[in-house]
Amino acid sequence: MDKFWLFAVAVGPVLLGCAIVFAMMRRRRLSEREKNAQTAAIADLYDKPTTRS
């Protein structure tokens, strides 16, 4: 049982850190065209009046 806690405390955070780094490296950046479309969509969203029933 002591080896389990050693693994959980010592190796667990290292594995979590590796998973976070892996996810950050795989994240795809938006192209210039996608950034412009996103900005236009946000502006359109904020320009529309909201109606509530």
Instruction: List the pLDDT tens digit at each of the 53 positions of the chain.
Output: 778 888 888 888 999 999 999 999 999 899 999 999 999 999 999 987 766 65
Full-model pTM? 0.51
Contacts of the segment 44-49: beta carbons below 8 A, 24+ positions apart: none
Name the 3-class secondary structure at 52.
coil
- How many Cα neighbours within 13 Å face the side chain of 46? 5
pLDDT at residue number 53: 55
pLDDT at residue number 10: 87
